[in-house]
Amino acid sequence: MSKVSSPVILALDIDDIETAKKWIEATRSSIDIYKVGLEFFLKFGIPGLQQLRDHGDFELFLDLKLHDIPNTVVGAVNSIRDLAPRFLTVHASGGSQMIKAASAAAPKIEITAVTVLTSLDGEELSNMGINVSPLHLAIALAKNSVTAGARAIVCSPLEVAAIRTAVGDEITLITPGVRPADSELGDQSRVMLPKEAIAAGANYLVIGRPITSYFAQSPRAMSERANQIVESLS
């Protein structure tokens, strides 16, 4: 299937491989990048991802949020390099040397630095001993990551505009924490409407439950929901 150039990345946050395949089938007409995270990867590993890839032609956002010493991260990057994900996440807080090492190990993969998790707010950062706002921390982490070789940044939609100004137009900005007006917040603390996030400077939006929850009604309902959200962004 040809690419549809969708700004929506669907989060396959599930530990059931057959359901993940059905989610891809239901939404492939409007989505061409799928995010696979730790829940799926720890259960099924590389063979599971290969099954998904064999089942449908799509680009992979591999959301492992690597965070360790540079040599360990390089080993992890090498172990998944043959999967050729488009995006591979690392924690920006891992520092310049870690990000440089990851980028050098896989120059064809867009190493994607995660700044401040959207489940964290200012109060929680303060409890952790980090006495700056999520915005200021995210900007600093993004700038440091780009200097070290990251080609994409994950940030809250509330920080997209400021980070776009800080890192320029060549860097891909990806944001979770977007919720259509008729969706629940879930475990996200800092959210924005999808169209607002795109207008603020995001290239891609990671969306999960506001789409995947419709599968319980039917695959068609899920497909229509994905189409509705994608079309609302044009």
Catalytic site includes residue 65:
yes
Q: What is the overall mean pLDDT for the chain?
A: 91
> How large a percentage of the chain has pLDDT more than 70?
94
Q: Contact at 8 Å (CB) between 31 and 226?
A: yes
Q: Contact at 8 Å (CB) between 222 and 28?
A: no
| Catalytic one of 3, 21, 22, 65 | 65
pLDDT of 186 reads: 52
Largest Cα separation within the chain, whole Å, is 49
- Residue 3 binned pLDDT confidence (cut-offs 50, 70, 90): very low
Whole-prediction pTM: 0.91
Dist CA 213 CA 117 (whole Å): 22
> How large a percentage of the chain has pLDDT more than 90?
81
Dist CA 213 CA 218 (whole Å): 10
pLDDT of 193 reads: 86
Residue 189 scores a pLDDT above 70: no
Domains of the chain: residue spans and CATH: 8-232 (3.20.20.70)
Over the stretch 60-118, which tens digit does the pLDDT of each residue have? 999 999 999 999 999 999 999 999 999 999 999 999 999 999 999 999 999 999 999 87
Residue 190 scores a pLDDT above 60: no
pLDDT of 188 reads: 46
**Tokens, residue 187:** 């475990």
Sequence-ordered list of residues with C-beta below 8 angstroms from that of 154, at least 6 positions apart, any chain: 89, 112, 113, 114, 115, 174, 175, 176, 206
Dist CA 222 CA 6 (whole Å): 16
